[in-house]
Amino acid sequence: MKLQVFLNQPFFYLDSQKNKGIYIVSSTIFVLFFLILFQPYGITEELNNPVNSIISIALFFLTISFCTFLGLCFSQFFLIPIFNFHKVSNKEYIFWLFIEALLITLIYFIFSFFIPDLGNDFENELNIFFQLKNYFRCLTVLLFPFFGTIIYVLIKELNHEIQVLENEIYMFQDVYKTSNASKEHPVLIYDENKNIELELQIDDFLYAESSNQYVLIYYSNANSIKKHLVRARLKTIVKTLKHFPVEQCHRSYAINLLHVKSLIRKDGKTYLIMNTIKNKEIPVSKSYLNSIKKRILNS
């Protein structure tokens, strides 16, 4: 996907209260552990400074975490509704991320009047350049949980979408099998010269795999899996089988939806798992997945 297309897409990742909560809590925890484990921005030197007591060090880390929590809560549950910052694009929401980092920095600045920074050098807090550095530090650290939350939401949405489609396929299979449509006409596979190469019942047709000018037809016969090579284009075969539950799912594959057992995602790709061939994974392209959805919903 091109960057410009992504930036113009609607930002929906933090629409629900649950996702907002995940973003806020994960950011708070991430900031705390990130600063403790990696000790960036000169924190290591401050921790080794004898001027800083254990209590002041603990207050320092807890204050930053609390300011992160308070700032994000104020942003997500108060400011966004007030400014009606809903249904915006990804590009527009990135701008809001800058606002959230500024808000957290301001809250931490206010707290610094009551809870001194490490080293008891309060005069630094009043330095504009010091606060600018704090702002960009805050923005940099906030990026990790922000994009982490987006990835989590995307994975959750994809898994939900797959589960819904899987259930719809099961319903489609039940409707088709009970309609006796599978027994009315045989499946006829033609070659490029329109000669009949293979005649099957729809229940026996499994899937087709394209290779250059040929298509390999997989079908069941006497409890075994058979293969038949046909000189034809996959697109043409799928077109002739449009009245059957056979759908192209990839540029090189077409599958009988009656033999789909489940859908899985692996390494960022979607696969159809067949119930007739053990461990057989048929790849699914996104464009063809949408076609399968339409076919199921319109059946």
Q: Which residues, 6 or more positions from 140, have their beta carbon under 8 angstroms from its beta carbon? A: none
pLDDT of residue 39 exceeding 70, the answer is: yes
Helix H or strand E segment including 222: none
Q: Say how far apart CA 27 and CA 148 lie, in whole Å.
A: 9
pLDDT for 252-263, tens place per residue?
999 999 999 888
DSSP characters over 106-119: HHHHHHTTTSPPTT
In angstroms, the CA 293 to CA 168 distance is 8
Give the Cα separation of 148 and 59 in Å (integer).
27
pLDDT in tens, 118-148: 655 656 667 788 889 999 999 999 999 999 9
Q: What is the pTM of this model?
A: 0.73
pLDDT score recorded for residue 176: 83
Which domains are present in the chain? 3-158 (no CATH), 179-297 (2.40.50.1020)
Q: Are 192 and 240 in contact (CB under 8 A)?
A: no
Given a cut of 60, whether residue 51 has pLDDT beyond it is yes
